[in-house]
């Protein structure tokens, strides 16, 4: 089993600080990177070492420079890189560059990132695993003429979604054919800006739906468990605002089906590290549908940590070192080892702390 000596976090702000904390508790040295604009940011001062990357005037691009980040990690002797969320966290080329440099990427394998990072490919994996998906296109669509035709075949309302990336970017709900052309171009432009790819696909839009996601945790030895579900239905412009764990008002049958479906998808790609499988629940029909996988840690992982008493980030680091879920430092050799206690709520923008209540 590999033992990390120094971990670089290729991210900034809250998630960087969060990873530094778990790494420090494990006795691992920490390295921060920061852009010129972030030179006074808190995460710079929370790591054992901190180095500026990029040029002034490039506050975002600095965190996307794969070659510079990997070269810096080699220069300072970091043997592992944690990508956090956003930025390079779902980019298979980043994970591949780390591997080629002899640096451990704290995340899923390149194969998983390639398989699940493209939402149309992930839909096909779900269907092959026997998990229900919404009606839609099996591939991304490039022309507005073809997209409009497919939308009419699916039936309005439809959702236009970016094929790469997540976080609600590159998404447009379209209720009528008259709105379609403008929405299609707008979604493509936003996807291109956010993810470097204009690829979009279509999915049937459900007017009354719950957004339920399942937290997975796997090791590199084929073991996989779920840490139950979160309800992320309260959103603004497809951005999550309130997250609750576990999901309230979810029938036992639906919960069981969703949890089993998430595990099926994870096992289909031999998933390792932390990841989230997302579903929509049609409230009126009492049915659920797979929508995507986020192969990374998420902002809302904290509510799951509160109700399970499991440090997900620490588990990510231990799994990346080659540890099995059954190891005493993780203690998740079986699904029965995951226990729930109480409820947790996270509110973004209006209030940042994770709030907890005991049932």
More confident residue, 139 or 55: 55
Q: Given a cut of 60, is residue 133 above it in pLDDT?
A: yes
Average pLDDT, the chain: 93
pLDDT tens for residues 262-316?
Answer: 999 999 999 999 999 999 999 888 999 999 999 999 999 999 999 999 999 999 9
Residue 163 has a pLDDT of 86
Query: Helix or strand or coil: residue 245?
Result: strand
Q: What is the C-alpha to C-alpha distance for residues 247 and 212, in angstroms, rounded to an integer?
A: 7
Q: What is the DSSP letter of 239?
A: E
Say which range, 120-129, 309-318, 323-332, 343-352, has the weakest mean pLDDT.
343-352
| pLDDT bracket for residue 237 (50, 70, 90) | confident
pLDDT tens for residues 199-229?
Answer: 999 999 998 899 999 999 999 999 999 999 9
Q: Given a cut of 50, is residue 351 above it in pLDDT?
A: no
CB atoms under 10 Å from CB of 185, counted, come to: 16
Q: Strands across the sheet with 287-294, in order? A: 287-294, 273-282, 209-218, 224-236, 239-245, 343-347, 354-357
Check whether domain 6-106 has CATH 3.40.50.20, yes or no: yes
pLDDT tens for residues 289-303?
Answer: 999 999 999 999 999
CB atoms under 10 Å from CB of 192, counted, come to: 16
Domain ranges (residues) in the chain: 6-106, 135-204, 209-357
| pLDDT bracket for residue 117 (50, 70, 90) | confident
Q: Which two tokens stand for residue 224?
A: 């996989």
Start-to-end C-alpha separation, the chain: 40
SS3 content of the chain, % helix, strand, coil (to 5): 35, 25, 40
Percent with pLDDT over 90 in the chain:
82
Q: Given a cut of 70, is residue 354 above it in pLDDT?
A: no
Does residue 214 contact residue 298 with C-beta atoms inside 8 Å? no
Does residue 346 contact residue 243 with C-beta atoms inside 8 Å? yes
* CATH class, 135-204 region: alpha beta
Type and span of the H or E element at 152: helix 144-154
- Is the backbone peptide bond immediately before 141 cis, with ω within 30 degrees of 0? no
More confident residue, 28 or 139: 28
- The mean per-residue pLDDT over the stretch 159-166 comes to 84
Which CATH superfamily is 209-357 part of?
A: ATP-grasp fold, B domain (3.30.470.20)
C-alpha 27 chain-centroid distance: 26
Q: Which two tokens stand for residue 42?
A: 């808190």
Is the pTM higher than 0.95? The answer reads no
Task: Name the residues annotated as catalytic.
Answer: 296
Q: Which two tokens stand for residue 265?
A: 């998808």
- The mean per-residue pLDDT over the stretch 226-239 comes to 91
| pLDDT bracket for residue 358 (50, 70, 90) | very low
pLDDT tens for residues 188-197?
Answer: 999 888 888 8
Q: Given a cut of 90, is residue 164 above it in pLDDT?
A: no
Residue 352 has a pLDDT of 43
Within this chain, domains 6-106 and 135-204 share the same CATH topology:
no
Does residue 169 contact residue 191 with C-beta atoms inside 8 Å? yes
Residue 355 has a pLDDT of 44
Residue 17 has a pLDDT of 98
Integer-rounded Cα radius of gyration of the chain? 20
Q: What is the C-alpha to C-alpha distance for residues 156 and 149, in angstroms, rounded to an integer?
A: 11
Q: Which two tokens stand for residue 343?
A: 């409820």
């Amino acid at each position: 089993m590999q033992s990390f000596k120094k971990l670089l976090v290729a991210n900034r702000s809250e998630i960087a600080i969060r990873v530094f904390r778990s790494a420090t508790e494990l006795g691992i040295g920490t390295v921060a990177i920061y852009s010129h604009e972030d030179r006074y940011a808190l995460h710079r001062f929370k790591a054992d070492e901190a180095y500026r990357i990029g040029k002034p005037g490039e506050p975002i691009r600095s965190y996307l420079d794969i070659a510079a980040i990997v070269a810096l990690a080699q220069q300072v002797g970091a043997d592992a890189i944690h990508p956090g969320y956003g930025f390079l966290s779902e980019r298979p080329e980043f994970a591949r560059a780390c591997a080629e440099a002899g640096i451990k990427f704290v995340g899923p394998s390149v194969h998983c990132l390639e398989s699940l990072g493209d939402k149309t490919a992930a839909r096909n994996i779900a269907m092959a695993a026997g998990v229900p998906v919404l009606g839609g296109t099996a591939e991304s669509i490039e022309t507005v003429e073809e997209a409009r035709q497919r939308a009419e075949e699916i039936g309005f309302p439809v959702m236009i979604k970016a094929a790469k990336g997540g976080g609600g970017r590159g998404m447009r709900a379209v209720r009528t054919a008259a709105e379609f052309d403008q929405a299609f171009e707008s979604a493509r432009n936003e996807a291109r800006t956010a993810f470097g790819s204009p690829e979009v696909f279509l999915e049937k839009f459900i007017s009354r739906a719950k957004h339920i996601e399942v937290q997975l945790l796997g090791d590199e030895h084929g073991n996989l468990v779920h840490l139950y579900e979160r309800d992320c239905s309260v959103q603004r412009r497809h951005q999550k605002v309130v997250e609750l764990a576990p999901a309230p008002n979810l029938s036992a049958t639906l919960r069981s089906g969703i949890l089993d479906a998430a595990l099926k998808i994870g096992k289909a790609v031999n998933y390792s590290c932390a990841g989230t499988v997302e579903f929509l629940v049609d409230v009126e029909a009492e049915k659920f549908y797979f929508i995507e996988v986020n192969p990374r840690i998420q902002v809302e992982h904290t509510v799951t940590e509160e109700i399970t008493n499991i440090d997900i980030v620490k588990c990510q680091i231990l799994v990346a070192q080659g540890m099995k879920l059954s190891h005493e430092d993780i203690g998740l050799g079986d699904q029965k080892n995951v226990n729930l206690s109480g409820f947790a709520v996270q509110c973004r923008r209006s209030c940042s702390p994770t709030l907890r209540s005991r049932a």
